[in-house]
């Protein structure tokens, strides 16, 4: 694995590979890697001749400065994991290397309603930050394929929108959420949970599973309030329990038995904010 810290060097190297007709796959991350990230690397290796991973904790997407400061960092272990997973290039830029024009007066993207619902509503500015960093990384890497996790369901939709805005040829391939055997969705933030909290955190996937199992039997408002009650009883402070159209993320009040649905949860355990989601019905085509 080649580790590159300078954007210009990365660009030069990847342009040479592209000129040779090699298909490139890109996996952007913020580090503190786990099997969820590694599943994206392995997906990329199946489809691409060269796999590029980036580790960059993007300051502009944190709406809570404490969350940014406390974001876990495990670089040495990340390098080992990526090397063992067969990653070709690790891009490890500094903030100045990515935001060479500084962190002020950054561009604004028209993300439509995606920015005012769910994560957009509860983390103001978050998706602008995601787009600001993804725009820069995509311009630099120019990947044929981009691998991102469905764990961040809304983020996948936002990045799809960004690719349209950029008129980019990059194809986004969303990959399924990797879970621990308990059902807990893997997340870098799980590292900050105590043993007790880790036990409680499993209730998020249990709640999603409950909603999935009862989608045909109960009404959507009933399922949402039962889900909220389950989580609040377990000790979570809720941002939302939502059931939405899986293709547009618009909330659904009453199910017609056909619309593809996804249930999404965001909740705090102590000061740690966890998100998860589950597709409830098959998405056709």
Name which position in 53, 178, 252, 266 contacts ligand AMP (CB under 6 A): 178
Separation between Cα atoms, residue 117 and residue 139, nearest integer Å: 28
Only segment of 9-17, 120-128, 136-144, 175-183 that touches ligand AMP (CB under 6 A)? 175-183
By CB under 6 A, what part of segment 81-110 binds ligand AMP? none
Backbone angles phi, psi at 270, to 5 degrees: 60, -130
Separation between Cα atoms, residue 232 and residue 239, nearest integer Å: 11
DSSP 193: S
Q: Are 171 and 145 in contact (CB under 8 A)?
A: yes
Name which position in 14, 24, 29, 79 contacts ligand AMP (CB under 6 A): 29
Q: Are 161 and 188 in contact (CB under 8 A)?
A: no
Is 37 a known active-site residue? Answer: yes
Only segment of 85-93, 103-111, 170-178, 229-237 that touches ligand AMP (CB under 6 A)? 170-178
Scan for tokens 């060479």, then name that residue.
100
Name which position in 7, 30, 79, 85 contacts ligand AMP (CB under 6 A): 30
**Alpha-carbon separation of residue 252 from 151, 161, 242 (angstroms):** 20, 21, 9
Only segment of 29-37, 62-70, 73-81, 231-239 that touches ligand AMP (CB under 6 A)? 29-37
As a dihedral over the C-alpha atoms of residue 63, residue 73, residue 31, residue 209, rounded to 10 degrees, the angle is -70
In the chain, what is the straight-line distance between the N-terminal and C-terminal CA atoms, in Å? 37
Question: For residue 229, what are its two tokens?
Answer: 């009650």
Please, which residue, 44 or 187, has the CB nearer to ligand AMP? 187
Please, which residue, 40 or 137, has the CB nearer to ligand AMP? 40
Separation between Cα atoms, residue 60 and residue 63, nearest integer Å: 8
Backbone angles phi, psi at 174, to 5 degrees: -75, 140
Beta strands at 89-91 and 50-55: parallel, antiparallel or unpaired: parallel
Name which position in 24, 128, 177, 190 contacts ligand AMP (CB under 6 A): 177
Nearest distance from C-beta of residue 174 to ligand AMP, angstroms:
8
Nearest distance from C-beta of residue 173 to ligand AMP, angstroms:
10
34, 37, 108, 126: which is the annotated catalytic residue? 37
Please, which residue, 30 or 201, has the CB nearer to ligand AMP? 30
Nearest distance from C-beta of residue 152 to ligand AMP, angstroms:
4
Nearest distance from C-beta of residue 27 to ligand AMP, angstroms:
7
The contact pattern for ligand AMP, residues 136-165, with x = CB under 6 A and - = no contact, is ------------xx-xx-------------
Q: Is 50 in the site for ligand AMP (CB under 6 A)?
A: no
Identify the CA nearest to 41 among candidates 134, 148, 139: 148
For binding to ligand AMP (CB under 6 A), which residues are involved? 29-30, 36-37, 39-40, 148-149, 151-152, 175, 177-178, 185-188
Residues identified as active-site:
37
């Amino acid at each position: 694995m080649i580790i590159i810290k300078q954007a210009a060097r990365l660009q030069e190297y990847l342009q040479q590979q592209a000129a040779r007709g090699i298909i490139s796959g890109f996996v952007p991350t913020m580090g503190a890697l786990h099997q969820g990230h590694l599943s994206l690397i392995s997906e990329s290796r199946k489809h691409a001749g060269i796999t590029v991973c980036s580790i960059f904790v993007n300051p502009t997407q944190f709406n809570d400065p404490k969350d940014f400061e406390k974001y876990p960092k495990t670089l040495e272990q990340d390098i080992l994991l990526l090397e063992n997973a067969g990653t070709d290039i690790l891009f490890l830029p500094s903030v100045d290397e990515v935001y060479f024009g500084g962190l002020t007066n950054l561009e604004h993207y028209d993300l439509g309603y995606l920015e005012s619902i769910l994560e957009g509503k509860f983390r103001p500015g978050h998706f602008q930050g995601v787009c600001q960093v993804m725009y820069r990384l995509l311009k630099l890497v120019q990947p044929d394929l981009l691998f991102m996790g469905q764990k961040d369901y809304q983020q996948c939709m936002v990045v799809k929108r960004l690719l349209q805005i950029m008129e980019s040829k990059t194809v986004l391939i969303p990959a399924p959420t990797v879970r621990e055997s308990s059902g807990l969705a893997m997340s870098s933030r799980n590292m900050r949970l105590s043993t007790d909290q880790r036990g409680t955190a499993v209730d998020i996937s249990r709640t999603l599973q409950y909603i999935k199992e009862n989608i045909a039997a109960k009404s959507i408002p009933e399922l949402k309030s039962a889900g909220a009650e389950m989580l609040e009883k377990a000790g979570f402070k809720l941002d939302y329990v939502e059931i939405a159209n899986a293709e547009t993320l618009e909330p659904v009040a009453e199910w017609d038995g056909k619309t593809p649905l996804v249930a999404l949860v965001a909740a705090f355990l102590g000061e740690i904010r966890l998100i998860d989601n589950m597709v409830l019905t098959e998405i056709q085509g």
